[in-house]
Amino acid sequence: MKKKLSLSILSGVLAVGVLAACGDNSENNNDPMMEDNNTETNVDIENNEMNNDMEENMENNMENDMEENLEENNTEANVDVENNEMNNDMEENMEDNMENDIEENDAANE
């Protein structure tokens, strides 16, 4: 009987404690992070920082890509210029050789 009485009292105390905690409406208005405006402001600040970082990264990547493309194009242009110079030299040498061969053949035929 003592067990039954003590368990009933303890369960009553527990029930009263739970019900008392559920109805608590006292708010701590001193916490600045709990205000709605601060939460939205903090999220906006974080989003702006992320957007700024993303824009900076995109600009840097675009600049790097442009520099790499310019370097590649300059290299290709230099190769083209060298190839054209070599082709021109080769054509001049072939013309000179043909003229020399013609002169030699003419001299041999005389």
pLDDT value of residue 101? 84
Identify whether the C-beta of residue 33 lies closer than 8 Å to the C-beta of residue 39: yes
Q: What Rg value do the Cα atoms of the chain yield, rounded?
A: 45
Decide if 26 contacts 32 (C-beta within 8 A): no
36 has pLDDT over 60: no
Q: Is there a contact between 32 and 38 (Cβ–Cβ < 8 Å)?
A: yes
Query: Given this model, what pLDDT does residue 69 score?
Result: 78
pLDDT at 11: 93
Say if residue 97's pLDDT is above 80: yes
Its pTM stands at: 0.27
Read off the pLDDT of each residue in 62-89 and give the average, rounded to a whole number.
Answer: 76
